[in-house]
Amino acid sequence: MNPFNKAVLFDMDGVVLDTEPLYTKAEIRLFGEYGVIIPEEDWSLFRGCAEQDFFDLSMKRYHITEDKHIFMEKGREYVRDEFKKSLAFMPGFHKLHKLVTQHYSIGLVTASPRHNLNWLQTLINLDELFEHIISGDETEKNKPHPEPYLIMMERLGVKPENVVIIEDSLHGIQAALASGAAVIAKTGSVPESDLSIAHRIITHLDEITHNMIEDLLQGDK
């Protein structure tokens, strides 16, 4: 049974872990091998995508005819290279984590597939930080559909009106809103105009306080 009856849910990339710049470096390297320079305005299309969706969308968009399995394995290898060099938590995450776990249940909902999370565990033990983790290949539908968040709420035993979700991508925010939860959007991964539909917009995790979370849970949106 959930002792709190309230929860704060986190996206992973760009919220818990400072991975977005690392993905960008890996993707520039990957697409560069095929003569593709990704336009600045296209990056926000990919943020928050599940892995399969990202590769399907990007290969079609940039007319890449490489075998999909080979292309994906290259991409995974380049991402891991970047992670090994400079993976870090987002500034302010540990302070926020301490605050949240004192008052709320906590879950991680990511578009990253389980094999990525398993590999990440060799660098950072995420299982110690969250009560439950849902990966991008554990649900039938992915963000921007709300299913991943709704399943997490079911696992934690909380209702949507008692949940705050922290996201940083348009797909993630759309999924969070559609779940019925309150949503805090963090800048940095996509244009700020993509975040305007969220209930709160922050630049740093340090801006999230107990009062902010409680105000959102009490309907001050």
161 confidence band (pLDDT: 50, 70, 90) = very high
> What type of residue is 152?
M
At residue 2, the pLDDT reads 62
pTM over 0.75: yes
* CA 119 from centroid of its chain's CA atoms: 17
Q: Report the CATH number of the 7-18+89-217 domain.
A: 3.40.50.1000
So where are the chain's domains? 7-18+89-217, 20-86
- Whether residue 1 is predicted with pLDDT greater than 60 in this model: the reply is no
At residue 77, the pLDDT reads 95
Q: What is the mean pLDDT of residues 89-93?
A: 97
151 confidence band (pLDDT: 50, 70, 90) = very high
Residue 203 and residue 216: Cα distance in Å, rounded? 18
Mapped onto helix, strand or coil, the DSSP state of residue 70 is helix
| Strand (E) or helix (H) holding 45 | helix 43-46
4 confidence band (pLDDT: 50, 70, 90) = confident
Q: Name the one residue in this structure whose structure tokens are 């709420």.
A: 153
